[in-house]
């Protein structure tokens, strides 16, 4: 799928915003992921074209960072923090709970394409542990009951 | 004393008009109209302010390293990568009071002669990044940023730059590479960023909390700031409290405040009325301490004397039910995952430590593994290309130092001696 005209415009804008063109690669990858849901080969080639940079430079940056998905994921990525402060307050239990409830292992996507379950490192919100990030949102002080409500809510959002 | 959080009870202090009403941007005006750039650097030097990003380097000295040559472009990078496990203070400083940071950055840029600054913020902080961008736009409209600031000939543009999930990009030279659009691996030093930093130009890199202190220093004077805290660790420190405490959150305390007071008064004591077993005081990259170290003061010197470091002041607190091997394994996994792979001791060593800790926790470890872990950690520490390697050794070395018997019990009993959750239980469950 080609990236949208809007995304192209934003990438071209990013190109002018920094002292060097290469600085626009990372912002462009964020734009690409927002547009396509993950960083596609095709999209990276377009970025390379728009920024006049070799494709290898774009690919090299993309593969360095854990936030960029290299393949399609569910509509919602459930990124559960597994680092110490969250772990001390039960994040491993929550991962097991989600895994069982959704019928998928960590790294997998539900058959309906709604949820991808992942574990991530400290999200910088340890005071509200255990914490999970889904989309732009941080979900805090999690319990299994709260997770039930969050999943229902996200399902409803996806239908709307 | 509250300096950075002095507005904590003011509703909507994140709104620029409220910030101004509370005296905001007065420090910038004072710096630009009444002080020379060198005068600002002198005030910051006199204040004794030291970097809050972990290493504690004197801020005034860092700024003074920047060459005065007006033909050179200079940059300021505010480090808002905040990925140190257990640390969440910069997030609150940004979200609660974004203009305090903007004002601090503007004063720094005036002092070092920079017209361009970046805030490098971790990719997951989407809301804080948006908030920062909105605040920058407002400040620009009001003439606190942009061209001819407050009618002077000082110009400044501040831009937010988002990372994308790599702990190593908080390391200052990796941060510069990331901002330049190449893989975020650390650089060889020298040259130091003050001489050749961003785009080969002189660059200051400072933590969010460091910069947020600057307006208060300019307004109240270096002597005032130096009178708070201890002689060598001046001012306050925002501590992030998490783990097994009743009231997790950020607390601003004077440097030198005893840990006992921070854990038992500010953070409300240990969850479930249990006993304290261990705490890391500065994010997982510093050695853990124990119940024996409750009277240590929270400052650079006291923490060092106690065998740890102040680091980011991100406290992760563990109660008596916590299996130390399991907790150490958790931290070791973090470093193995975040090692950038550039140098061998760190890339290989962090994975070995994880494997050995796993087998000890699972009951297949041998007695010799404990000393082997110490050996591996000592071989990473000081032999790695950057401080991430050293950091990875700290949880392992300190946990074996303080809890060797627990490691031994794991081996002799062929498994974890802790029942059930091993201290990793659900909150309230
Ligand atoms: C692996 C690693 C990660 C780091 N992460 C951060 C970070 O997230 N934020 C930060 O301010 N400093 C971090 N630092 C420290 C920076 O390299 C640098 O010392 C600091 O930003 C300087 O600012 P300061 O003098 O104001 O403390 C990190 C260092 C290392 C080795
Ligand atoms: S010590 Fe680790 S993080 Fe630092 S350069 Fe070496 S491999 Fe990379
Ligand atoms: S440990 Fe989970 S947010 Fe920090």
Q: Is the pLDDT of residue B126 over 70?
A: yes
Q: What is the pLDDT of residue B307?
A: 98
Q: How confident is the model at residue A160 (pLDDT cuts 50, 70, 90)?
A: confident
Give me chain B's average pLDDT, please: 97
Q: Is the pLDDT of residue B421 over 90?
A: no
Q: What is the pLDDT of residue B98?
A: 98
Contact A125, A43 (CB under 8 A): no
User: What integer is the mean pLDDT of B408-429?
Assistant: 87
For chain A, report the end-to-end CA distance as a whole number of angstroms.
Answer: 24
> Does B124 reach chain A within 8 Å, measured CB to CB?
yes
Tokens of A113: 């394409």
Predicted interface score ipTM higher than 0.90: yes
* B207: helix, strand or coil: strand
Does B138 contact ligand 1 (Cβ within 6 A)? no
In the block, which residue shows the tokens 């971790």?
B122
Distance separating alpha carbons of residues B351 and B338, to the nearest angstrom: 11
User: Where do the domains of chain B lie?
Assistant: 16-226, 236-319, 324-412
Tokens of B133: 């961008």
- The beta-carbon neighbor of A125 closest among B88, B243, B424 is B88
Ligand 2, atom 8, residue with closest C-alpha:
B340
Q: What is the pLDDT of residue B392?
A: 98
In the block, which residue shows the tokens 């001791």?
B345
- Residue B262 phi, psi dihedral angles, 5° rounding: -65, -45
Q: How confident is the model at residue B426 (pLDDT cuts 50, 70, 90)?
A: confident
Domain A5-64, CATH among 3.10.450, 1.10.10, 2.60.40, 3.40.50: 1.10.10
Is this model's pTM higher than 0.95 or not? yes
Q: What is the pLDDT of residue B420?
A: 85
In tens, the pLDDT along A76-130 reads: 999 999 999 999 999 999 999 999 999 999 999 999 999 999 999 999 999 999 9
- The beta-carbon neighbor of B423 closest among A17, A64, A88 is A88
Contact A75, A102 (CB under 8 A): no
What sign does the CA torsion over B310, B314, B320, B322 have? Answer: negative
- Residue A118 phi, psi dihedral angles, 5° rounding: -135, 160
Biggest CA-to-CA distance, chain A = 50
Tokens of A46: 């377009």
CATH class as words, domain B324-412: mainly alpha
Question: Which parts of B58-97 fold into alpha helices (H)?
Answer: 59-64, 89-96
Tell me if the bond preceding B190 is cis, omega within 30° of 0: yes
In tens, the pLDDT along B219-249 reads: 999 999 999 999 999 999 999 999 999 999 9
DSSP letter string over B116-143? EEEEEE-TT-HHHHHHHHHHHHHHHHTT
Q: What is the pLDDT of residue A1?
A: 67
In tens, the pLDDT along A10-38 reads: 999 999 999 999 999 999 999 999 999 99
Per cent of chain B over pLDDT 70 is: 99
Distance separating alpha carbons of residues B218 and B230, to the nearest angstrom: 20
Q: What is the pLDDT of residue B26?
A: 98
What distance lies between CA A112 and its chain's CA centroid? 18
Q: Burial-class residue B29 by CB neighbours within 10 Å (0-12, 13-18, 19+).
A: middle
| B236-319: CATH number | 3.10.20.600
DSSP letter string over B242-274? EESBSS-EEEEEETT-BHHHIIIIIS-SBGGG-
What distance lies between CA A94 and its chain's CA centroid? 19
In tens, the pLDDT along B44-78 reads: 999 999 999 999 999 999 999 999 999 999 999 99
Atom of ligand 1 nearest to the CA of B83: 8
Q: What is the pLDDT of residue A16?
A: 96
Atom of ligand 3 nearest to the CA of A91: 2
Count Cβ atoms below 10 Å from residue B73 Cβ, excluding itself.
15
Q: How confident is the model at residue B408 (pLDDT cuts 50, 70, 90)?
A: very high
CA distance, residue A14 to nearest chain B CA (Å): 11
DSSP label of A20: S
Q: How confident is the model at residue B419 (pLDDT cuts 50, 70, 90)?
A: confident
CB spacing of A120 vs B165 below 8 angstroms:
yes
Does B259 contact ligand 1 (Cβ within 6 A)? no
Tokens of B388: 């991430």
Tokens of A72: 């399609």
User: Where do the domains of chain A lie?
Assistant: 5-64, 76-159
Distance separating alpha carbons of residues B134 and B316, to the nearest angstrom: 33
- Partnered with residue B206 across adjacent β-strands are B78
Q: How confident is the model at residue B423 (pLDDT cuts 50, 70, 90)?
A: confident
Contact A115, A103 (CB under 8 A): no
Residue among B170, B174, B286, B340 whose CB has most ligand 1 atoms within 8 A, to mutate = B170
**What does each C-alpha distance from B88 to A43, A79, B208, B312, B422 come to in angstroms?**
34, 18, 11, 9, 25
Q: Does domain A76-159 have CATH number 3.40.50.970?
A: no
CB spacing of A122 vs B243 below 8 angstroms:
no
Contact A80, A130 (CB under 8 A): yes
Contact B251, B266 (CB under 8 A): yes
Report the relative pairing of strands A132-134 and B75-80 from DSSP bridges. Answer: unpaired
CATH topology of domain B16-226: Rossmann fold (3.40.50)
DSSP label of B308: S
What sign does the CA torsion over A57, A61, A63, A64 have? Answer: positive
What sign does the CA torsion over B292, B296, B298, B304 have? Answer: negative
Q: Strand order in B75-80's β-sheet? A: B157-162, B116-121, B75-80, B203-207
Q: How confident is the model at residue B428 (pLDDT cuts 50, 70, 90)?
A: low
């Amino acid at each position: 799928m080609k990236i949208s005209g809007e995304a192209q415009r934003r990438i071209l804008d990013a190109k002018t915003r920094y002292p060097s063109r290469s600085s626009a690669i990372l912002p462009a990858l964020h734009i690409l992921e927002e547009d396509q849901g993950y960083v596609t080969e095709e999209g990276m080639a377009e970025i390379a074209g728009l920024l006049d940079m070799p494709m290898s430079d774009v690919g090299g940056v993309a593969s360095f960072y854990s936030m960029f998905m290299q393949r399609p994921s569910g509509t919602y990525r459930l990124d559960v923090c597994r680092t110490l402060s969250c772990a001390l307050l039960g994040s491993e239990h929550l991962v097991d709970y989600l895994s069982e409830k959704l019928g998928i292992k960590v790294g997998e996507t539900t058959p309906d394409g709604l949820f991808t379950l992942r574990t991530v490192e400290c999200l910088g919100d340890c005071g509200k542990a255990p914490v999970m990030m889904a989309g732009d949102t941080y979900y805090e002080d999690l319990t299994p009951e709260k997770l039930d409500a969050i999943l229902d809510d996200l399902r409803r959002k996806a239908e709307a | 004393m509250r300096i950075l959080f002095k507005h904590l009870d003011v509703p909507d202090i994140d709104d620029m008009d409220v910030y101004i009403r509370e005296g905001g941007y007065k420090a910038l005006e004072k710096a630009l109209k009444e002080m020379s750039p060198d005068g600002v650097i002198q005030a910051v030097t006199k204040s004794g302010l030291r970097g809050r990003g972990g290493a504690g380097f004197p801020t005034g000295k860092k700024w003074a390293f920047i060459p005065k040559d007006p033909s050179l472009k200079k940059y300021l990078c505010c480090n808002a990568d905040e990925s140190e496990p257990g640390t969440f203070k910069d997030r609150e400083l940004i979200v609660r009071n974004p203009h305090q940071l903007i004002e601090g950055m503007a004063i720094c840029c005036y002092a070092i002669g920079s017209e361009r600054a970046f805030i490098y913020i971790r990719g997951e902080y989407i809301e804080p990044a948006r908030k920062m961008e909105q605040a920058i736009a407002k400040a620009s409209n009001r003439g606190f940023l942009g061209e001819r600031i407050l009618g002077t000939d000082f110009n400044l543009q501040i831009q937010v730059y988002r990372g994308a999930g790599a702990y190593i990009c908080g390391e200052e030279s990796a941060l510069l590479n990331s901002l330049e659009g190449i893989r975020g691996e650390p650089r060889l030093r020298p040259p130091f960023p003050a001489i050749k930093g961003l785009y080969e130009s002189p660059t200051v890199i400072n933590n969010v909390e460091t910069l947020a202190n600057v307006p208060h220093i300019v307004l109240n004077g270096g002597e005032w700031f130096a009178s708070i805290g201890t002689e060598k660790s001046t001012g306050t420190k925002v501590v992030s409290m998490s783990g097994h405490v009743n009231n997790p959150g950020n607390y601003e305390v004077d440097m030198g405040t005893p840990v006992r007071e921070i854990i038992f008064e500010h953070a409300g004591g240990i969850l479930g009325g249990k006993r304290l077993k261990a705490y890391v005081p500065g994010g997982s990259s510093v050695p853990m301490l124990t119940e024996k170290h409750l009277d240590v003061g929270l400052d650079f010197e006291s923490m060092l004397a106690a065998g740890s470091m102040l680091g980011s002041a991100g406290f992760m607190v563990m109660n008596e039910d916590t299996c130390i091997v399991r907790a150490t394994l958790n931290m070791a996994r973090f470093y193995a995952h975040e090692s950038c792979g550039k140098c061998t001791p760190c890339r290989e060593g962090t994975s070995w430590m994880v494997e050995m800790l796993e087998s000890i926790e699972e009951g297949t470890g041998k007695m010799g593994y404990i000393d082997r872990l110490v050996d591996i950690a000592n071989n990473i520490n000081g032999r790695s290309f950057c401080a991430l390697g050293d950091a990875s050794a700290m949880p392992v070395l300190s946990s074996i130092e303080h809890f060797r018997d627990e490691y031994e019990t794991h081996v002799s009993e062929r498994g974890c001696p802790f029942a059930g959750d091993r201290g990793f239980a659900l909150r309230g469950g």
